[in-house]
Chains A and B, each alone.
Chain A
């Protein structure tokens, strides 16, 4: 079965610009997560979707970050405007609700 797909793999932007990341979860997985992994740290949950509804966005910096999951499948995470401290790997994960979560390869964002 295909894994979690993410694009782009790498992105370099200047501070105050906007950027968007895309995720396609494993087919049939109703739950989708976005994590932020800063270099040298463990991933931190940003937002969780169940189908196309938000379950938990308590860690999402809502003044600059937004996410959506249209039709309960693909998801997009957006940052606008980006700050230097947003430089990180953004990981998407999905789960069928019974087993473990599977992660994509991530998008490495560099803000200069």
Chain B
């Protein structure tokens, strides 16, 4: 019940494309859903986060869509660039303890020039 399932495992898009990464959770007690970006040799860095009282959040080229009834959320990267090539992790947590994260398995994104 604590799992977060993420797909796809890997993704290749052309520059300018819109990669979409999907996540699903089971525990309805989760109320904080961040996305982290990780480059090789670096720690995860927060990209964007959403709480279940909204269905969509945009920050720059990154958008989270949230479907509370389906217990699913997704990350869209608009106008993707080669510099966006990294591993992306969705996570679920609690607003009262945002660092106690249940991570998905990760998606390795490659954006071709």
Contact = CB atoms under 8 A, between A and B. Distances in A.
Interface residues of A, number: 24
A58 to B, nearest CB: 11
B98 A91 contact: no
A33 B101 CA distance: 10
A57 B43 CA distance: 21
Interface stretch (A14-22, A75-83, A100-108): A100-108
Contacts, number: 57
A42 B98 contact: no
A24 interface: no
Interface stretch (B11-19, B56-64, B66-74, B102-110): B102-110
B54 interface: no
Q: Is the interface of B mostly helix, strand, loop or mixed?
A: strand
Interface residues of B, number: 23
B33 to A, nearest CB: 12
Contacts of B99: 31, 33, 48, 93-95, 100-101
Interface of A: 4, 31, 33, 35, 40-45, 48, 56, 91, 93-95, 99-106
